[in-house]
Amino acid sequence: MAVTIATWNINSVRLREPIVLDLLRDEAPDILCLQETKSPVDKIPVEGFAEAGYPYMVARGQKGYNGVAILSRLPIEDAGQRDFCAKGDARHVAARLADGTVIHNFYVPAGGDEPDRERNEKFGHKLDFLTEMRDWFHGGKPERAIMVGDLNIAPREDDVWDHKKLLKVVSHTPIEVEQLAQVQDSGAWVDITRADIPEGKLYSWWSYRARDWDAADKGRRLDHIWATPDLASGAGGSRILRACRGWEKPSDHAPVLASFDL
DNA sequence: ATGGTAGGTCTCCTA
């Protein structure tokens, strides 16, 4: 069965319910993973999503910050969450499909402005979060698993608009790239987007602060879809929907999609 | 070198 999965940092699910519904109508993914919902779970506008054909949801939330949700038109069950760094943040949740496939939805800390954990505790938090991800996946090699989300790291030179200019900018520093590689190795994860689209610049995020994000095109690929090797062999159809960044009242992130043969 | 915009919440924090 072909299953299409989308991931999108939505930057407030309540404010952006209309464009979530537009995406569901236009692209009809089977599963949509959202990050930065910025809403308690009981205030997510589930009625609209159910009417659009997505009656299933697994989510974690808190007031004002963070928050992750998995919307589905296929039955899913709650597969729990991990409280990374024991801060009580809603940054991870997992769902299980009927065939046993597990989908992890992550919102990795952005890490603040200064790439120095001695001077910026948010950067330390980000590095600690990545270390805990690495150790967690290493503990039990995942199988039939997909992991998506806003990982807040653009690993490759062609994942950013200017590699040299961004070497000291949080999201593309060598230590972050190295730690993300360790997370990927620990679960034998395949970067599905780059397996499908190996060449060329690829971005999923453009800052709100740019005067003309489209013309300047100073983007970064912060949003990822990974899968274990058993599922990667049947994956394809990767896309990043740049046009959504230009929609009315947009998120600063664009949706990333991939299809799997499950 | 700097400041630029956006969202949630309640005065400034986070991205």
Per-residue model confidence as pLDDT tens digits over A143-189: 999 999 999 999 999 999 999 999 999 999 999 999 999 999 999 99
How does pLDDT run across A3-49, given as a tens digit for each residue? 999 999 999 999 999 999 999 999 999 999 999 999 999 999 999 99
Assign A257 to helix, strand or coil. strand
Whole-number pLDDT of residue A243: 98
Compute the distance between CA of residue A64 and CA of residue A226 in angstroms, rounded to an integer. Answer: 28
Which nucleotide is the nearest neighbour of A222, by CA and C1'? B15
Could you read off the pLDDT of A197-255 as tens digits, one per residue? Answer: 999 999 999 999 998 999 999 999 999 999 999 999 999 999 999 999 999 999 999 99
The residue lying closest to nucleotide B3, measuring its CA against C1', is: A209
DSSP A87-144: S----EEEEEETTS-EEEEEE-----S---TTT-HHHHHHHHHHHHHHHHHHHS---S
Q: Which nucleotide is nearest to A66 (CA to C1')?
A: B14
CA–CA dist A81, A106 (Å, integer): 10
The CA–C1' separation of A172 and B2, in angstroms, is 21
Listed range (A38-47, A59-68, A132-141, A161-170) with the worst mean pLDDT: A132-141
Number of domains in chain A: 1
The pLDDT assigned to A142 comes to 86
Kindly report the length of chain A.
262
Cα A181 from chain centre: 16
Q: Which residue's CA lies closest to nucleotide B6 at its C1' atom?
A: A208
End-to-end alpha carbon distance in chain A: 5
Calculate the angstrom distance between C1' of B14 and CA of A86: 19
How many angstroms separate the CA of A243 from the C1' of B4? 22
Å between A250 CA and B7 C1'? 12
Q: Each residue of A77-131: pLDDT tens digit? A: 999 999 999 999 999 999 999 999 999 999 999 999 999 999 999 999 999 999 9
* Residue-wise pLDDT tens digits, A118-129: 999 999 999 999
CATH of the domain at A228: 3.60.10.10
Protein-covered nucleotides of chain B (CB closer than 7 Å) are 3-9, 14-15
Q: How many CA atoms lie within 13 A of A163 on its CB side?
A: 9
Domain extent, residue A57, equals 2-261
Strand B protein footprint, C-beta under 7 A: A 11-12, 14-15, 38-39, 63-65, 109-112, 122, 152, 207-209, 249
Q: Is the pLDDT of residue A138 over 90?
A: no
